[in-house]
Structure 1
């Protein structure tokens, strides 16, 4: 686990994943909560393109995972929806970048901002060990975009399935 931007999280040896009700009473080091929500910035054709090649989570060969919580700055949230969309797609090409790494790298996005959590998004990635270099390349490309200038806290947590 490493802090890419902003404050780190306290170290922990393992993660327990599940719905909040299943984790109630857990006395872990920290707990992050997010919900699946509607797709905010992708247009219909982009959503269809992603869905046509997105691999499901939980594939037997995808024993590597990454949990990447991130928070965007207040400057990001002060932008109008169309300005965020322009940064996300027209300038940063977020969807096209992701498409280049599918189906090798599966992803699920969870929204946390409206829950009052310390991060705006929790992104869960799964990939096979043979695709680790491609996953690193994906992160490098995404982090070099204009959109990432608005990220003020990001933690990169790597995991291997037990």
Structure 2
């Protein structure tokens, strides 16, 4: 059972999520392309990162899994948009809802990329934010980080 209090009592807030099975797996051939082109996290040249916590509204969660899949795949083309940024961006999705309803976000999205690919990342984020799926997002933060390569 997940604890409702942060591990550090001095923390103002804590973000927690878990990796899980793919909830909105796209159909072939997009799924195969995603898997084949997805790069690993932690590449030395990928010194830029973004953490984007996202919460979707009640209307999203009232949709059935099949309805959410249609929004994700057919209306928003989420995977197709993501494919346009591969293989330059590495990503990992963490689910927060599985930890209980006390988490402030539903998803923690983590991206890593080389500085030369910043425009690719910005285009990806802009395209996703312009999609139908994004109309269900009611809270988002965009945290950018740069790792010292030394």
TM-score (norm 1): 0.82
Q: What corresponds to 1:99 in structure 2? A: 83
Structure 1 residue 57 and structure 2 residue 41: aligned?
A: yes
* Cα displacement (A) at 1:69: 0.2
Q: Quick one: distance in 2 between partners of 1:59 and 1:89?
A: 29
CA shift at 1:80, angstroms? 0.9
Structure 1 SS opposite 2:72 = helix
Q: 1:87 aligns with which of 71, 77, 97?
A: 71
CA shift for structure 1 position 145: 0.4
Q: TM-score, structure 2 length as denominator?
A: 0.88
Aligned residues: 141
Runs of 4+ in 1 over 3 A off after TM superposition: 23-29
Shift of residue 83 of structure 1?
Answer: 0.8
The alignment status of 1:149 with 2:135, answered yes or no, reads yes
Unaligned runs of 5+ in 2: 1-5
Does residue 1:128 correspond to 2:114, yes or no?
A: yes
CA distance in 2, matches of 1:139, 1:29: 27
Compared CA separation, residues 103 and 27, structure 1 to 2 (3 A): farther
For residues 68-89 of structure 1, what are the alpha-carbon distances to aligned partners after superposition, in whole Å with 9 as ceiling and x for unaligned? 0000000000001111011001
Label 1:87 to 1:58 Cα distance change in 2 as closer, same or farther (>3 A): same
Equivalent in the alignment of 1:27:
10
Q: In the TM superposition, what are the counterparts of 1:64-83 in structure 2 within 5 Å? A: 64-83=48-67
Deviation of the 1:44 alpha carbon: 5.0
Give the 3 Å change call, closer, same or farther, for CA 141–84 of structure 1 in structure 2: same
- Secondary structure class of the residue paired with 1:110: strand
1:36 equivalenced with 2:22 (yes/no) = no
Q: Distance in 1 between matches of 2:77 and 2:113?
A: 22
